[in-house]
Amino acid sequence: MPDERDTRANHSMHTIPGNQMPRDPALEPYDSYNRELESHVHPPDWVNPQPNGRYNLVVIGAGTAGLVTAAGAAGLGAKVALIERSLMGGDCLNVGCVPSKGIISAARVARTIRGADEFGIDVPDGTKAEFSRVMERMRRLRAEISPNDAATRFRDLGVDVFLGEAKFTGSNSVRVGEQTLEFRKAVIATGARASAPPIPGLQEVPYLTNETLFSLTELPGRFGVIGAGPIGCEMAQAFASLGSEVLLVEAAHGILPIEDPEASEIVGRSLQQDGVRLLCCGKELKLSGDDGSIRMSVESHERSYDERVDQLLVSAGRAPNVQGLGLETVGVEFDARKGVTVDDRMRTTNPNIYAAGDVCSRYKFTHAADFMARIVIQNALFKGRSKASALTIPWCTYTSPEVAHVGLSEKEAQDRGVAIDTYTQHFADVDRAILAGETDGFVKVHTHKGTDRIAGATIVASHAGDMISEITLAMTHGLGLKKIGSTIHPYPTQAESIRKLGDQYNRTRLTPLVKSLFQKWLAWTR
Ligand SMILES: Cc1cc2nc3c(=O)[nH]c(=O)nc-3n(C[C@H](O)[C@H](O)[C@H](O)COP(=O)(O)OP(=O)(O)OC[C@H]3O[C@@H](n4cnc5c(N)ncnc54)[C@H](O)[C@@H]3O)c2cc1C
């Protein structure tokens, strides 16, 4: 089982004057942007309100799941308390989507400039990213976005915001600091954190996780990444594009293991073209400290590698935050790896307590946390019967090209015995992709066999994350490929590839019998 120690312990903490909480490592460097961020998401002078009677809903954790639950419930008139032990906004704002996509945006600019020659554009002095400015820009934009998640904003929405660690003390009560909050219903929205895999030597070397990566101010000359899931691939490619020598080690056979193998292969190629050294099937990985650097010894495809890196990112899985909440005392079942056990209505094994987001779901995405929160509001407060299984949840990995997916993959369909037809449109035959020099990609749609009803799709494209929504919309509202084929898409766009799949489907309806009937009709009406 992975060692799930709190990775924060690996890094220095500072105490905020007048506040006994250590300062979150995400707030380093403690510059004007991070002070602005802090003033919104963990105001140092915050005074918790006095609880006043029983709450309809106590929400633990102010990440996406908690914030959406609290704001939605308060908006409907519920008396709501929201408890956050660290930074409001959770992973997404502080150490996840927002900072990672800020860095990726800069890396993409560097990458585009480097590829300018292919377009006949001469960039005389080459490209050199100034990493400190890239990170400063990210911190500025993160601070700019942060008022959305601010403690004061939620207070103004009518939510009682408590900063502190929450722990259940009874089936209808939670303690935060010295205060006890009584509730009718509670929601566990405590998220997840980077898990530390059992790699020999890991505990002895300094390493980064998503909680500390975004505090870097200097570009690591040599950057090691363990784990080629979405976070590992996104960061490996971004740091390589910004100028690091990147070594990406993955224990499995290939990168992005849950994606369509053809998609993973394209992204793997792209990572390597951007300078990432990729060691898949990495076995016997050992780490040790070595003269200020970190030594990574690993075997890959029967060759031994002995490499040194200046910084190491561990992105090898996420562990739910289930410890220290007193879940055992209130009859909430959980698993240290899978998180809080919930039924299809997001209810835990204690009927008064619900859960939402990364702490209870295998879909660890902001938009998934958002929609689970909406289910919780309906079911916890209004005896609703909304089901998580009814959600159609897409996702996207923001590499270049991006990989976006929704619904069943070919393998899942096979495993579940679902018969499918597959329609693929490669970008080598899509004019806009050809003109943009982005032909390495595709749209693949699986339909239930013999019908145009979409079972799943994968898109590999520069903006696959935007394109997948058309297919998600179709799946959510029961529109088939035929309808997509009859929808006019502007020419030339990469989204036209989706319409072309509709044409592919329509051609399958033109059976020899139908064709001969058409021919007879046309001959008769000539
Ligand atoms: C590097 C990275 C990049 C990502 N990029 C994307 C992306 O591009 N798109 C996407 O959709 N998703 C992305 N994600 C995933 C996304 O960030 C999460 O799915 C999302 O934040 C989950 O929200 P949540 O509310 O469930 O949990 P969290 O955001 O983790 O929030 C949980 C909150 O609970 C608090 N908490 C925990 N225990 C307690 C306690 N006992 N008392 C009080 N408070 C407590 C925590 O401090 C935290 O603030 C990324 C994640 C990472 C790490």
Atom of ligand 1 nearest to the CA of 318: 53
Q: 229: Cβ below 6 Å to ligand 1?
A: no
How would residue 20 be classed by pLDDT, with cut points 50, 70 and 90?
Answer: low
Atom of ligand 1 nearest to the CA of 91: 29
Residue 299 CB neighbours (<10 A): 15
State which of 83, 88, 91 you would mutate to test the pocket of ligand 1, scoring each by most atoms of that ligand within 8 A of its C-beta.
91
- Is the pLDDT at 6 greater than 60, yes or no? no
Q: 366: Cβ below 6 Å to ligand 1?
A: yes
User: What is the per-residue pLDDT across 180-204, written as a single tens digit (0 to 9) for each?
Assistant: 999 999 999 999 999 999 999 999 9
Q: 90: Cβ below 6 Å to ligand 1?
A: yes
**CA 81–ligand 1 middle distance (angstroms):** 19
pLDDT at position 10: 39
Task: Return the percentage of the chain with pLDDT > 90, whole number.
Answer: 91
- DSSP letter for 61, please: -
Q: 231: Cβ below 6 Å to ligand 1?
A: yes
**CA 190–ligand 1 middle distance (angstroms):** 8
Lowest model confidence (mean pLDDT) among 7-21, 264-278, 367-381, 402-416: 7-21
Q: 370: Cβ below 6 Å to ligand 1?
A: no
Which H helix or E strand runs over 305? strand 303-309
How would residue 21 be classed by pLDDT, with cut points 50, 70 and 90?
Answer: low
User: What is the per-residue pLDDT across 364-417, written as a single tens digit (0 to 9) for each?
Assistant: 999 999 999 999 999 999 989 999 999 999 999 999 999 999 999 999 999 999
HEC string of 384-401 equals: CCCCHHHCCCCEEECCCC
How would residue 12 be classed by pLDDT, with cut points 50, 70 and 90?
Answer: very low
Q: How far apart are CA 449 and CA 459, in angstroms?
A: 20
Q: 244: Cβ below 6 Å to ligand 1?
A: no
Q: 386: Cβ below 6 Å to ligand 1?
A: no
**CA 259–ligand 1 middle distance (angstroms):** 22
- Is the pLDDT at 17 greater than 90, yes or no? no
Q: How far apart are CA 470 and CA 454, in angstroms?
A: 12
- Is the pLDDT at 18 greater than 60, yes or no? no
State which of 27, 95, 366, 396 you would mutate to test the pocket of ligand 1, scoring each by most atoms of that ligand within 8 A of its C-beta.
366
User: What is the per-residue pLDDT across 299-358, written as a single tens digit (0 to 9) for each?
Assistant: 999 899 999 999 999 999 999 999 999 999 999 999 999 999 999 999 999 999 999 999
pLDDT at position 9: 35
Place of tokens 């060691």: 279
Asked if 207 and 10 touch (Cβ cutoff 8 Å), the reply is yes
**CA 192–ligand 1 middle distance (angstroms):** 6
Q: How far apart are CA 311 and CA 219, in angstroms?
A: 9
- CA distances 86 to 8, 141, 165, 191, 250, Å, are 12, 20, 8, 12, 31
- Is the pLDDT at 521 greater than 80, yes or no? yes
Q: 367: Cβ below 6 Å to ligand 1?
A: yes
Mean pLDDT in residue range 421-449: 98
Lowest model confidence (mean pLDDT) among 9-23, 123-137, 161-175: 9-23
pLDDT at position 4: 36
Strands 339-340 and 334-335: antiparallel
| Cβ within 8 Å of residue 414, ≥6 positions away | none
pLDDT at position 14: 46
Q: 232: Cβ below 6 Å to ligand 1?
A: no
**CA 193–ligand 1 middle distance (angstroms):** 8
State which of 190, 213, 468 you would mutate to test the pocket of ligand 1, scoring each by most atoms of that ligand within 8 A of its C-beta.
190
Pure H helices in 56-159: 64-75, 90-95, 97-114, 131-145, 151-156
How would residue 127 be classed by pLDDT, with cut points 50, 70 and 90?
Answer: confident
Lowest model confidence (mean pLDDT) among 12-26, 61-75, 266-280: 12-26
State which of 59, 97, 405 you would mutate to test the pocket of ligand 1, scoring each by most atoms of that ligand within 8 A of its C-beta.
97
CA atoms within 13 A on the CB side of 392: 19
Atom of ligand 1 nearest to the CA of 61: 34
Looking at every residue in the chain, the average pLDDT score rounds to 94
